[in-house]
Amino acid sequence: MIIRGAAARQCRHAVSRNSFRPLRRSLSSEVNTADSSTQDNIKQLQSLEAQLNAQLARPAPSARVPNTIAEQYHQYKQQQKIFGKLGTHITPHYRPHTLLNHPPSPADVTLELLLASEAHQGHATSIWNPANARYIHGIRQGVHIISLEVTAAHLRRAAKIVQEVSRRAGMVLFVGTRDGQDRAVIRAAELAKGYHLFERWIPGSITNGQQILGRCRTKVVNEKDETVPGFEEQLDERPVLRPDLVVCLNPLENYVLLHECALNNIPTIGVIDTNADPTWVTYPIPANDDSIRCIQVIAGVLGRAGEAGQKMRLDAAAKGEITYTPAKGLVMPGEEEDSKKTCPAVDAEIQENLLEDEGLEDAGEPSAKLDEAASLEGNERIKVVS
């Protein structure tokens, strides 16, 4: 391949690297005129072109044109390796994929980052929720501006919560059901070893969990997160799992989820915009829920916090410390037959639940009592057998 004018195009870097000027200056004692210096520059450029051509001409043993798609693609990739870095060097700037692939940690939260992610943009003043007044910095162009210091403080607090819950092996559920929030939610759950939800929350997943989540599989793990086999039969009899902490990135659309969490004493973290109700969540983060970039920053920070918490938990586990309350009622697989009838903790739980449901009565009891009474009197009650 012959390059024409490449040196002229890539002049700045090429010439700076292979500059002959210092050598010439040291040898020459004459002062250069304008004409002679331009002549010299042209000669330098031409010699540079020759050099580049020589360099590129060397690694071309297979100079034939690639005829298959695979060969063409392979050649394209090789050329990209050589020439891909050429061109203007752009100063560090926002690249969207970095928020998902390398999210910021709680220590990287700065007001500049939040401002650049448009976390301060609230909604029109006419549709605000006055309970959010304490988070609002002011008004600009008819729109409420959220105070970023408040946002940063609440975000750091929420990160601490997520970290501590993860350290104690709690189940953190990241929820973001709007378009474009799915990747942020999946990445956060991946980092924090938690759970994600980016489609509609099915109402009743907590209050009617057995019906809705009853089929979803669970597993038994030890302190090092290794799956322990042999407990599958016992898992079938266990109640459905509930999250220990819920992080909601769009609380306005997930009213039912937050209500269910409130009914079941599950703390929630939520991104509260100026028109959202902060009392719906336990730990609000006042920020803009309409900006995907802002959501990615918040989800990334919380995911990183969860990652730190998980690391702490696993470090403690390596030393033999258990930071969580182990599951009650589990029996070693070999001893299942002996103690099948005695699961005191689970039985106690089931008894409590039955007592709470007043509608459920032992259907056999009244008929048994009637039979007793009838037999005492000597009359036999006609039993209706269905």
Q: Of residues 202-241, which lie at the interface with other proteins (CB under 8 A)?
A: 202, 205, 212-213, 215-223, 228, 231, 235, 238, 241
Q: From CA 45, how far away is CA 272, in angstroms rounded?
A: 61
Q: Which residue has the tokens 């692939």?
A: 101
The separation between CA 319 and the C-alpha centre of its own chain, rounded to angstroms, equals: 28
Stretch binding other proteins (CB under 8 A), from 6-14, 134-142, 304-312, 361-369: 134-142
Q: Figure out which of the listed residues 114, 119, 159, 197 binds other proteins, where binding follows CB under 8 A.
A: 197
Q: Does 309 bind other proteins (CB under 8 A)?
A: no
The interface mask with other proteins, positions 325-354, x = CB under 8 A, is xxx--xxx----------------------
CA–CA separation, 197 and 174 (whole Å): 6
Query: Among residue numbers 239 through 258, which ones bind other proteins (CB under 8 A)?
Result: 241, 243, 252-253, 255, 258
Residue 288 CA to residue 311 CA, distance in Å, equals 30
Which class for 307: exposed (0-12), middle (13-18), buried (19 or more C-beta within 10 A)?
A: buried
Taking the least distance from each CB to other proteins, the nearer of 55 and 101 is 101
Q: How far is the CB of 376 from other proteins (least distance, A)?
A: 50
Give burial (CB, 10 Å; 0-12/13-18/19+) of 129.
middle
In the complex, the smallest distance separating the C-beta of residue 75 from other proteins, rounded to whole angstroms, is 12
- Among residues 113 and 267, whose Cβ is nearest to other proteins? 267
**Sign, Cα dihedral of 373, 375, 379, 380:** positive
Can residue 259 be called a binding residue for other proteins (CB under 8 A)?
yes
Binders of other proteins among residues 151 to 170 (CB under 8 A) are 161, 164-165, 168-169
Q: Which 170-189 residues touch other proteins, going by CB under 8 A?
A: 171, 173, 186, 189
- Site for other proteins, residues 64 to 123, rule: CB under 8 A: 68-70, 73
Cα–Cα distance, 257 to 246 (Å, whole number): 9
Specify the amino acid at residue 248.
C
Determine which residue in the list 166, 268, 274, 288 makes contact with other proteins, applying CB under 8 A: 268
* Residue that is written with structure tokens 């002011």 in the block: 138
Give strand pairing partners of 124: 143
